[in-house]
Chains A and B, each alone.
Chain A
Amino acid sequence: AQTVTQSQPEMSVQEAETVTLSCTYDTSENNYYLFWYKQPPSRQMILVIRQEAYKQQNATENRFSVNFQKAAKSFSLKISDSQLGDTAMYFCAYTTSGTYKYIFGTGTRLKVLA
């Protein structure tokens, strides 16, 4: 069965510093998609970054980047120059084409400290 594991329930980081959130997944598929979603307090979930498994290059979106290790089934999110607005719940998610189903991890609550 496909699973997504986020082993860090809570993390904190000082403003302007860098933090890395961990995610591991289990799948027997070769072609799949990975995502990090952000859910700010009392606000809607939004997509932060996505990675296609067939692409070896790590995805980046401004201050957000991933370290995708396909063999290790690891997909970590690095947030550089952390800002107070980055305070949120972060979810790692996985899907494959044709399943129309996303599998989410249990989330990491990130708090950015002033």
Chain B
Amino acid sequence: KAGVTQTPRYLIKTRGQQVTLSCSPISGHRSVSWYQQTPGQGLQFLFEYFSETQRNKGNFPGRFSGRQFSNSRSEMNVSTLELGDSALYLCASSLEGQQRFQETQYFGPGTRLLVL
């Protein structure tokens, strides 16, 4: 079974631009989460989607948005990029995001975004 894939793997943008990152979950997984990873902050939760619905959102400004398609693929968008948005953006998928069923969250390799 193919793992979680993220495209593109690397991206360089300039301040003020916008960017769209894509995540394809493991086949059959319907829950997709996004995280921002920076050296000083660790991983910070951005949002989680299930069946095209956002079920939770982290403390990020409205410039960060996401969506999920009917095939469970997800995209996140960052508008009006700032230097501080430079980070590794990780996507993770699981069956339904239900911990009581002992689900495992599988991570993708990430998209490394550099904002100049």
* Interface residue ranges, A against B (CB under 8 Å): 6, 33, 37, 43-47, 50, 91, 93, 95-97, 99-107
Tell me the total A-B contact number using a CB cutoff of 8 A.
55
Which of the listed residues B4, B100, B108 has the most CB atoms from chain A within 10 Å of its own CB?
A: B100
B105: contacting residue among A96, A102, A103, CB under 8 A? A102
B42 touches A44 (CB 8 A): no
Shortest CB distance B65–A (Å):
17
* Interface residue ranges, B against A (CB under 8 Å): 3-4, 31, 33, 35, 40-45, 48, 50, 55-56, 58, 90, 92, 97-100, 102, 104-105, 107-110
B3 touches A44 (CB 8 A): yes
A103/B45 contact (C-beta < 8 A), A33-B99, A97-B99 known: yes
A97/B41 contact (C-beta < 8 A), A44-B108, A104-B35 known: no
